[in-house]
């Protein structure tokens, strides 16, 4: 089974990515909740890259590679869109989101709470997000 997938930047491909992650993790015998959390975290990063970093431009691509290192699963997601500026990120205040009726801005909070380590790197025009999750 291939451990990587490359899709163009349309939101419809998010389902493809989720199915790919799920298929890859099946052998790990995770609970429904664990599986869903990991799939969700990868989905959130990919959605951000497709929508915000690459403006849903179907001529652009994102890639996802999954690997296992001892008790850790590692997801490497790369693109060539706008780099994420982590220094400018603020954890969302949900009550404020409710008050003003804000739709977005909670995806990365989910990722940060689900994953054990989240890294963003940029080299030239290539951006990489690394997600790590302990599985045992």
Partner 1 sequence: MKITNEIKDATIIITLDGELDASSSVILDEELSNPEVMKFSKILVNCENLHYISSAGLGVFISHLQRFEDAQIKLIFFNMQDKVRNVFEILGLDLLMTIVSNYEEAMTIADE
Query: Which residues here bind partner 1, judged by CB under 8 A?
Result: 11-12, 14-15, 18, 32-33, 35-37, 39-40, 43-44, 47, 50-51, 94-95, 97-107, 109-110, 113-114
Q: How far is the CB of 70 from partner 1 (least distance, A)?
A: 26
Q: State the DSSP string of 20-59.
A: HHHHHHGGG---HHHHHHHHHHHHHHHHHIIIIISTT-TT
Integer Cα distance of 58 and 6 in angstroms = 12
Q: Minimal CA–CA distance to 15: which of 46, 56, 52?
A: 46
74 or 97: whose CB is closer to partner 1?
A: 97
90 or 103: whose CB is closer to partner 1?
A: 103
Q: How far is the CB of 78 from partner 1 (least distance, A)?
A: 19
Give the side-chain half-sphere CA count within 13 A for 64: 29
Q: Minimal CA–CA distance to 62: which of 136, 132, 128?
A: 128
> CB neighbours of 21 closer than 8 A, spacing ≥ 6?
38, 39, 42, 43, 64, 66, 75
113 or 126: whose CB is closer to partner 1?
A: 113
DSSP state of 122: E
Q: How far is the CB of 101 from partner 1 (least distance, A)?
A: 5
Q: How far is the CB of 30 from partner 1 (least distance, A)?
A: 11
94 or 126: whose CB is closer to partner 1?
A: 94
Q: How far is the CB of 15 from partner 1 (least distance, A)?
A: 7
70 or 103: whose CB is closer to partner 1?
A: 103
């Amino acid at each position: 089974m291939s451990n990587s997938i490359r899709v163009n930047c349309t939101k419809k491909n998010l389902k493809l990515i989720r199915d790919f992650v799920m298929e890859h993790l099946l052998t790990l015998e995770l609970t429904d909740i664990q599986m869903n959390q990991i799939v969700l975290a990868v989905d959130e990063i990919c959605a951000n890259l497709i929508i915000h970093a690459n403006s849903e431009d179907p001529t652009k691509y994102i890639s996802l590679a999954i690997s296992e290192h001892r008790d850790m699963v590692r997801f490497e997601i790369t693109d060539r869109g706008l780099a994420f500026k982590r220094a400018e990120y603020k954890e969302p205040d949900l009550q404020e989101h409710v008050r003003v009726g804000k739709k977005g801005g909670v995806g990365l909070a989910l990722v940060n709470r689900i994953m054990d380590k989240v890294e963003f790197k940029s080299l030239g025009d290539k951006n990489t997000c690394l997600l790590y999750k302990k599985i045992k």
